Chain A
Amino acid sequence: MPYETTLHHTFDNGLVLLGDKMPWLRSAAFAFMLPAGCRFESPDRLGLAGFVNEMIQRGAGNHSSRDLVAIQDNLGLDRSSSISTAHGSFGGSMPAESLPDALTLYADMVMRPHLPGDQIEDARLMCLQELQAAEDDLPQTMMNRLKQMHYGDVLGRNSLGDEAGLMAIDAADIRSFYQRRYQPCGAMLSVAGNFDWDVVRSHVETLFADWKPGDPISEEPVVGTAGYEHIEHPSQQTHLGIAFPAVRYGDPDYYPMRAAIGVLSDGMSSRLFTRVREERGLCYTISAGCHSMREGGGVFCYAGTTAERAQETLDVTLQELQGIADGIEESELERLKVRIQSSLIMEQESSASRASAIVSDWYLLGRVQSRDELQKKIDALTTADLVDYWKRNPPKDLRIVTVGPEPLKVP
């Protein structure tokens, strides 16, 4: 199947525009990533990135915050916003004809936000609410701590911040973070779906021509530490997380590593699902996945299991992690290849997933990998490649976190 090359244009101020045409759809989607993630917060202002992202949505250009929502609704925009370690992001999918107006609106938000002083207290309360509500989400509590152990204090930050940081933030902090971080150098905007590239490119050029670049972004080292931590909680289940270092997206070894994780966790016949849940009935949810930042990567596993069966779940899971080095059956890899091929084809039904995939590629690889190229890399994998990677990079320096009534014995 022929795949169209992703369209790309870098404007003079550094803003990167990416496009992937899907003319068979009635929709279009965009993903806008700005270099305004929580890694740029100072340690006494944790939560500032999310705070600013919230303030940006409280009025911009000629629009009040209520106007912004009304316009978005009337454009049929299904929207989102989020904070990651490196980025503050906005996304939206919509009927294709709404795309130019939606981009105009987001240009106002990103370049001409009101940051209204009289709404700072409301926004602060909103951020505090989210932080407090997250305390009741035990898997998330576990994963936040695990990410912090894995990537270190800066790259492993929880984007919700902490209470002290949120309480300390003032109008000057908000304005200064906005001015430094909402800038075109390091910003990426992707568009996917049914649109005309020349029209979108010249529209974006007009919208963002006056946007001035700031300082480029420096890299931050990964400073994770191995170890075990238990967070006591009188819960029914013990929420168990295991992480260990792995190559990042873009590394030549990435696909053998990713496929080995697939053998462990992709699908109902994968090893963790089969051996922990199906054969032993130890838990309802178990998974392993890989995560990449530009600075490094890791494998993260999760299992939720009643306290009395948590130790066995941990033991069996660790055994399965090591077991990849003992060999993989051809059929395990074959199933994985079919699944990946199907998901690549299914991606063509969604402009939103394509818009976020290409922008993420650009950030991590500096280019967009075509589906064709990806398909070829996957097709070329052999079971020996997977086993070889695992032998060279066995799971070690484990970071383990549990949340539950009792700590576990870890090796």
Chain B
Amino acid sequence: MTLEFKQHTLANGLQIIAEINPAGYTAAFGFFVRTGARDERPEELGLSHFLEHMVFKGTSRRTAADVNRELDELGGQANAYTSEEQTVYYTTVLPKYQDRAIDLLCDIMRPALRDDDFQTERQVILEEIAKYDDQPPFGAFERSMETYFAGHPLGGRVLGTPESIGQMTSTAMRGYFDRRYDPKNMLLSVAGCVDFDEVVRQVESLAGDWPTVESAAMTPATTTDEQTKIDLKVPDSSQTYVIRVGAAPSIANDDRFAMRMLVSMMGEEGGSRLFWDLIDTGRADVATMWTQEFQDAGLLFTYLSCAPEDVDANLKLVDGAIEVFVKNGPTDDEIEQAKNRMCAGLILSSERPSNRMFSIGNAWQLRGVYETLDHQLQRYRSVSDSDLRRVLAEFPMHYRTEVRTVSKSPAT
């Protein structure tokens, strides 16, 4: 399989990157906008995500119905998501639809933001918030982030609240759009069977005149040093959910590969230390760990779900397992197993161009590098025993924030 990497930047700053696989069955395209909850002002809570919805509601050339219809006519999988630092719009299509996919994606990046559509879509967002409110751990996750980041917008609720969405105006959205959807802040990532020169020609003609503005610098992440524990009432839930948040390497820190491996050994769902202690023994329904990496901060999540009466005993087991792990470090067998598991996962997922599109898009947007699959595999393969011990000493799996739901059956 011969892959070729190509890159082009428009005069207004919009970047295009591609990993071309002439033998691929599909072509994947994604616009990565470097904007999300952390770029919102306090009165804009939930605006990035609301705008993501509005991007599908039509342009000067297309109605909302046209956008949905044309996406379906291309036969692909199209969607979008918003996180704390990113909003991404993507589609995967057969190669014969390349030019139509590019035309549509570029067009919706300049949405009309019509007031009627804004009012209807507000209701959909409120429904989305209500949907997540019915999933008990969700509110606890939001609360844990808010507390950990101590008022910094990186801990802000991506969906917003019923109040913030209820008060949102289309004028505020236009202001945010002009500020954040600046071509300097945007990347088109492409993977699979594509004609790159044609992509560049088409994007030059469609996006070459997008205006740029002076954008504000990112406010560095802040966190609180003190440990905070919160009880969150979720009276109609059956299980108790505990979310703990601590520090991990950021996306800019190469130690993140070692940390991901450590977290996998400790909290992977299928066969880690927490699995054997808590899941295999039937003590908990979920006991797992994972990292989340931001530009200038990294988080370690620990998540426990179990019967209310077992929470304290289970948390003791979690604490005990972490203490032993930090003190003695991982065994050679664990390290080899984690490497094999993680590398195979990367190989399997890279078979689809859509996954490669996300992988190269994120690496380029956040770190300005092109990463081949082999390079990624090498990153994990080259982590040494001493790297793992050093990183574990630096990030000893402590937590600063704990949110625990309080459910209908009090502990007896």
Contact = CB atoms under 8 A, between A and B. Distances in A.
A94 B127 contact: no
Contacts of B347: 26-27, 76, 95
A392 B134 CA distance: 39
B280 A269 contact: no
Interface in A69-111: 69-70, 72-79, 93-95, 98
Contact of A66 (B93, B276, B338): B276
B123 interface: yes
B351 interface: yes
Interface in B256-306: 270-271, 276, 279-286, 305-306
A136 B280 contact: no
B352 A349 contact: yes
Nearest to B286: A133
Nearest to B92: A346
A45 B15 CA distance: 61
A339 B72 contact: yes
Contact of A282 (B127, B135, B236, B344): B127
A338 interface: yes
B210 interface: no
A284 B134 contact: no
B282 A124 contact: yes
B71 interface: yes
Nearest to B234: A136
Interface string B318-347: 000000000000000100111011011101
A323 B353 CA distance: 39
Contacts of A270: 72
A132 B238 contact: yes
Contacts of B69: 269, 331, 335
Given A121-B282, A269-B71, A77 B351 contact: no
B236 A94 contact: no
A277 B236 contact: no
B81 interface: no
Contacts of A309: 127
A65 B120 CA distance: 53
Given A78-B348, A122-B280, A126-B279, A349 B26 contact: yes
Contacts of B67: 268
Contact of B285 (A130, A273, A348): A130
Contacts, number: 189
B131 interface: yes
B131 to A, nearest CB: 5
Interface in A306-358: 306, 309, 331, 334-335, 338-339, 341-343, 345-346, 348-350
A44 B222 CA distance: 56
A350 B352 contact: yes
- The listed residue with most A CB atoms (<10 A of its CB), out of B75, B124, B235, B343, is B75
B94 A345 contact: yes
Interface stretch (A199-207, A233-241, A243-251): A233-241
A24 interface: yes
User: For this complex, into which size category does the number of interface residues on chain B fall?
Assistant: 35 or more
Contacts of B333: 70
A5 interface: no
Given A279-B120, A281-B127, A285-B131, A74 B336 contact: yes
B221 interface: no
Contacts of B72: 266-270, 335, 338-339
Contacts of A136: 135-136, 237-239
A128 interface: yes
B127 A126 contact: no
B369 interface: no
A127 B306 CA distance: 12
A132 B336 contact: no
Interface string A265-308: 01111100110011111111100000000000000000011100
Nearest to A313: B127
A342 B75 contact: yes
A266 B72 CA distance: 9
Contact of B94 (A267, A334, A342): A342
Interface string B51-79: 00000100000001101110111111110
B126 interface: yes
Given A70-B337, A126-B282, A269 B68 contact: yes
B134 A133 contact: no
Interface in B343-373: 343-345, 347-348, 351-353
Contacts of B126: 306
Contact of A350 (B128, B271, B343, B351): B351
Interface in B60-114: 64-65, 67-69, 71-78, 92-94
B25 A345 contact: yes
Contact of A76 (B23, B74, B283, B340): B340
Given A77-B344, A278-B68, A349 B25 contact: yes
- The listed residue with most B CB atoms (<10 A of its CB), out of A136, A278, A304, A345, is A136
A78 B345 contact: yes
A338 B239 contact: no
A353 to B, nearest CB: 11
- The listed residue with most B CB atoms (<10 A of its CB), out of A26, A73, A342, is A73
Contact of A237 (B76, B127, B284, B340): B127
B307 interface: yes
A364 interface: no
A123 B282 contact: yes
B121 interface: yes
A349 to B, nearest CB: 5
Given A78-B344, A94-B344, A281-B120, A349 B279 contact: no
Contacts of A124: 282
A138 interface: yes
B209 interface: no
A389 B120 CA distance: 34
Given A282-B123, A348-B25, A268 B134 contact: no
Interface in A17-63: 24-27
Given A66-B276, A237-B131, A335-B69, A122 B282 contact: yes
A164 interface: no
A126 B276 CA distance: 12
19 contacts: A66-B276, A78-B345, A98-B344, A124-B282, A132-B307, A133-B305, A136-B136, A136-B237, A233-B236, A235-B134, A237-B134, A278-B68, A278-B120, A282-B123, A306-B130, A309-B127, A341-B94, A345-B26, A346-B77
Nearest first, the 7 A-B pairs at minimum CB distance are A125-B282, A76-B344, A281-B123, A342-B75, A69-B271, A338-B75, A268-B68
Interface of B: 23, 25-26, 56, 64-65, 67-69, 71-78, 92-94, 120-124, 126-128, 130-131, 133-136, 235-239, 270-271, 276, 279-286, 305-307, 333, 336-338, 340-341, 343-345, 347-348, 351-353
Given A346-B77, A348-B25, 13 more contacts: A27-B347, A73-B340, A78-B345, A125-B282, A129-B307, A135-B239, A235-B236, A236-B131, A236-B133, A239-B134, A273-B68, A278-B120, A306-B127
